[in-house]
Homo-oligomer: A and B are copies of this chain.
Amino acid sequence: MAVKERRERERADRHRRIVAVARELAEDQGWDAVTTRRLADRIEYSQPVLYGHFPGGKDEIVGAVALEGFAELAAALRTAVDAAGPDDAVGALASAYLAFAAEHPEVYRAMFDLAALPFGRDDTPAPLREGFTVVRDVLAPAAPGDPGHYAEVGWATLHGLATLARAGRLPPEGAAERLALAVGLLGQDTATVRDRQTP
């Protein structure tokens, strides 16, 4: 019965559409504008349909957007790092991270402020691990101690810069210098090593 398959396909489409509409609405009107009624309106179904797809309700929907965001962030970091030489990998990583946060502020907000994603657990989805992995791999050569912990600190620095900037608590004109300073700090050991080798 191909009917069942079609139904399944239509259902999956609608599922994606809900997430896409939620994201779109959030990106150009803020998350406050993302209400179940408006969402239902835009997908041209009634509210209860949303709960058929996301039993967890609105929270689960922003969670889905957040998950999407993590996948994109990880991909962005990966390509930025790959495109850069080994010398400025840290710089490429940091600048790609801050660029993502600046360009998708609402998605970033979903990822870190709104969604309660299952982090640090056995069933943690792959996209959630992937971004951290990139950070760890890039920072590992510079790590004075455990690379995992060092990556956490590095991530925290970038996350802090991103959120404080978005909240308007860091003057925009200093962004470049802050980036340079952060890169200098995080990639320092590499520099030290290089300095020791060159003379």
| B178/A149 in contact, CB under 8 A | yes
Which residues of the other chain, B, contact A177 by a CB distance below 8 angstroms?
145-146, 149
| A112/B156 in contact, CB under 8 A | no
Which residues of the other chain, B, contact A180 by a CB distance below 8 angstroms?
145
| A160/B155 in contact, CB under 8 A | yes
Output the nearest chain B residue to A119 by Cβ-Cβ distance.
Answer: B169
Residue A199 is within 8 A (CB to CB) of chain B in the complex? no
Stretch at the interface among A14-22, A82-90, A182-190: A182-190
Residue A152 is within 8 A (CB to CB) of chain B in the complex? yes
| B153/A120 in contact, CB under 8 A | no
Q: Which of A151-183 contact B (CB under 8 A)?
A: 152-153, 155-161, 163-164, 167-171, 174, 177-178, 180-182
